[in-house]
């Protein structure tokens, strides 16, 4: 019997009405439909200081970093929707990566990321939908050992793209986002076989 893959889903945004939070929830439904157990989190629930090596050496990992790392370690995949800030990724997302990449005693280097599978996406009010930022997301994740799925989506004019219930107005886009989630689940099912 196949082990049900576990996927951690989050947006690189803490804004309450974030387009990227809406997008990652859509992708999560695709992953769940394909047989994965998906945990959707909000990075706002894990506030942490800006990474500081002196702080880490003095006090160790902050408690919210430890909680997030524990979650990441128990999941085999990620669904990440990243907003584009100045042609790159948000500070909260980069800080999350920086803290989670710190090696704890008894862990292999980059334990939260090594050999995990990720599906990436973005939404932005701009005309490119956050596409430039996804280049950086793909590069960073790939460099820390994450297997990033080749398919991605960037939803342009996000302020006009969503219905009141959080779904996308464009059915084709909605299906593409769900497919990213489903594909991560399917790859993990094959890897767990």
Tell me the pLDDT tens digit for each residue of 110-153. Answer: 999 999 999 999 999 999 999 999 999 999 999 999 999 999 99
Instruction: Indicate yes or no: pTM above 0.85.
Output: yes
Tokens 């959707």 correspond to what residue?
40
Q: How many residues does the chain have?
A: 193
According to the CATH classification, is domain 6-192 in 3.40.50.360? Answer: yes
Distance CA 93, CA 46 (A): 11
Contacts of 63 (CB under 8 A, 6+ apart): none
CB atoms < 10 A from the CB of 19, how many? 24
Distance CA 66, CA 140 (A): 21
Contacts of 50 (CB under 8 A, 6+ apart): 95
3-state class (DSSP) for residue 154: strand
Tell me the pLDDT tens digit for each residue of 7-16. Answer: 999 999 999 9
């Amino acid at each position: 019997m196949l082990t049900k893959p576990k996927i951690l889903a989050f947006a690189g945004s803490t804004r309450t009405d974030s387009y990227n939070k809406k997008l990652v929830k859509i992708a999560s439904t695709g992953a769940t439909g394909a047989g994965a157990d998906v945990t959707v989190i909000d990075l706002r629930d894990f506030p942490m200081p800006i990474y500081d090596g002196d702080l880490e050496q003095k006090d160790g990992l902050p408690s919210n970093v430890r909680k997030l790392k524990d979650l990441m370690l128990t999941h085999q995949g990620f669904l990440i929707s990243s907003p584009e800030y100045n042609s790159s990724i948000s500070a909260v997302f980069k800080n999350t990566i920086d803290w989670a990449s710190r090696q704890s005693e008894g862990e292999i280097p980059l334990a939260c990321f090594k050999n995990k599978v990720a599906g990436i996406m973005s939404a932005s009010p701009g005309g490119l939908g956050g596409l430039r930022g996804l280049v950086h997301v793909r590069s960073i994740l790939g460099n820390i050992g994450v297997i990033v799925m080749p398919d991605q989506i960037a939803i342009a004019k996000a302020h006009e793209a969503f219905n009141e219930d959080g779904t996308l107005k464009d059915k084709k886009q909605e299906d593409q986002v769900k497919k990213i989630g489903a594909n991560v689940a399917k790859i993990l099912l094959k890897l767990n076989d």
